Structure 1
């Protein structure tokens, strides 16, 4: 199963050159870049681990790509994503987010539906490796 979260998730994986082009677009838009990783790509897991601090003052895509490569090397069997933050309104808003690394074997999810009182249905999802 292929995890589909963020921009470009239904496309084939982006090459490093294509990732750098997207980072350049973000930097031209004055968006700060953050790199995050996780072992748990559950759809409700929105808080991934940060790889260093967000790069608010960086103006070169090569610096972001160095951080992405370092994160990939440190966590080769994890998901790594790039987030682009816009702070023009005085608070951080995610403008773009996309996955730049995937583990070799992606987990699948099993959904369990349980009927409870009345017409209520509880749904739970568990990762299956």
Structure 2
């Protein structure tokens, strides 16, 4: 019986039980979050600390940002600055005052 590599890895965020998103799927998820009026943000954490500590925020949330390309460029800038860290996209919902969506983009 073959072992699924996704079952043996740690699970974090909304889509962590699925295979890693393709760049187009990441773009579509960010576009969806923006279309809902949610505020995008980028966070990062060391792979050993991602379950035990708060994640570090890359800058401030991008309040009112409506460009997927701007968000993607911030995700890539964070990944370039911390290539061995886990980087995730978070979308904050002003209405419910909570996260509307969060998923890991780079697993470190």
Normalised TM-score (structure 2) = 0.86
Task: Note if 1:19 corresponds to 2:26.
Answer: yes
Residues in 2 aligned to 1:77 and 1:84: alpha-carbon distance in whole angstroms: 23
2:4 is aligned to none
Larger radius of gyration: 1
Answer whether contact 2:41 2:60 (CA < 8 A) is retained.
Answer: yes
Task: Name the structure with the higher strand share.
Answer: 1
Decide which of 77, 81, 95 is 2:100's aligned counterpart: 95
Residues in 2 aligned to 1:18 and 1:25: alpha-carbon distance in whole angstroms: 10
Deviation track 1:9-59 (CA, whole Å, cap 9, x = no partner) reads 0111112211110000000000001100001122x43x2000011011210
Q: CA RMSD in A?
A: 1.2
Residues in 1 aligned to 2:60 and 2:85: alpha-carbon distance in whole angstroms: 19
Count of paired positions: 99
Gaps of 5+ in 2: 1-7
Normalised TM-score (structure 1) = 0.73
Residues in 2 aligned to 1:67 and 1:3: alpha-carbon distance in whole angstroms: 25
User: RCO greater where, 1 or 2, for CA within 8 Å and sep 6 or more?
Assistant: 2
